[in-house]
Amino acid sequence: MSAAVIDGKAFAAGLRQRVGVAAAAFAAQAGRKAGLAVVLVGEDPASAVYVRAKGKATLEAGMASFEHRLPAATSEAELLALIAQLNADPAVDGILVQLPLPAGIDEQAVIAAIAPDKDVDGFHIDNAGRLAVGQEGFVPCTPLGCLMLLQDALGDLSGKEAVVIGRSNIVGKPMAQLLLNANATVTIAHSRTADLPAVVRRADIVVAAVGRPEMIRGDWLKPGAVVIDVGINRLAPTDDAPKGRLVGDVAYDEAAGVAAAITPVPGGVGPMTIAVLLRNTLVAAYRHAGLQMEGDAL
C-alpha cells in the first residue's frame, strides 16, 4: 500500500485563485482594494523571506499590501504606536506582525494590541476564545489550512478519532479545537504523553506539529490513517544535500507505506498558510465594509 499524496500546493493555488476572484468582486463593490499590513521588526533572514512572499502573494491576489520594515532597535512603544495607527486606518483590513520579535519586545503585548477584527493571524486572545466557544472569529492560518486539506481528503470528519501531536498556541491547540468543532474525537498529545506510539496508533487522523524531524514513525500509525505533517525541519548538510534536506515531523517513506493519505514536506501544509492568510484578510475586508461575500467558496 502506498499513501495518496495530499497536494497542498495545488489546493493552495486553487484557494488563491478563488480569493483573487472574490477580491476583484470586493473592490468593485467597496470602491477600494482589501488591504493587508505586514510589520517586520529586525533583520531575521527567514522572517524577511516570509514577509516578501506574503507581500507578493497579496498583490497577486489583487489586494493592497502595506509593508512596514522597522529596525531591530525599535522599541516596544514605537511598535505599539504603529499598530494603533494601523488599527485606525480604514484602508487596512488585516494586520500581521511577523514573529519572532527581537528581544525586549513582549510578543503577547503586541498581539493583544492588534484589533481582533484585523487579527488575520488569529492569535489575539479574543479570537482564541471565539474559536474555543464556537463563535465566528479569525483562526490561525496553518491549522485552518490543515482542516481544509483534511475535509478535502475525507469529507465529513464526524466521529473520526484524531490525534494532534503538539500543543502550541499557533498550531496544536487551535487545530484540536477545529477538529472538535468538526465533530471529531480529539486527543492532544505532546512530549510528556505516556506511550505516545500507542496513542497515535488509535488515530484515523494524525496531525504532527512538534518540530522534531521524523519523530513519528511508520509503525506508530494505524493502517489507513490520514497524516497531516506540519513540521518543516532542515537536517545537517550531507554530500547528497549540501544545504541540508528538508523533512517533516513524520518519517515520510515509512508513513507512506501505512497511511491512506499524507502531506509531503515541502509542498504539503506550507503553501496553505499564505493562501489562508489571504482568505482571512478578504473575509475581514468584507466584514469591515458590511458587505456579503457571494457564495462560501472561501
Catalytic residue among 121, 204, 229, 249: 121
Name the percent of the chain in helix, strand, coil, to the closest 5. Answer: 45, 15, 40
The angle at the Cα of 155, spanning 162 to 133, to the nearest 5 degrees, equals 55
Give yes or no: 292 in active site. Answer: no
Place of cell 478563488: 18
Q: Which among 33, 93, 98, 204 is annotated as catalytic?
A: 98
Q: Point out which residues pair with 290 in neighbouring strands.
A: none
Catalytic annotation, pick one of 54, 118, 160, 173: 54
The DSSP code sequence of 110-125 is HHHHS-GGG-TT--SH
Which residue in the block uniquely carries the three cell numbers 502573494?
57
Cα–Cα distance for residue pair 241/236, rounded to 1 Å: 9
Catalytic annotation present for 54? yes
Other beta carbons within 10 angstroms of residue 238's beta carbon come to 10
Q: Is 121 a catalytic residue?
A: yes
Nearest to 277 by CA among 99, 143, 83: 143
- Catalytic residue annotation: 54, 98, 121
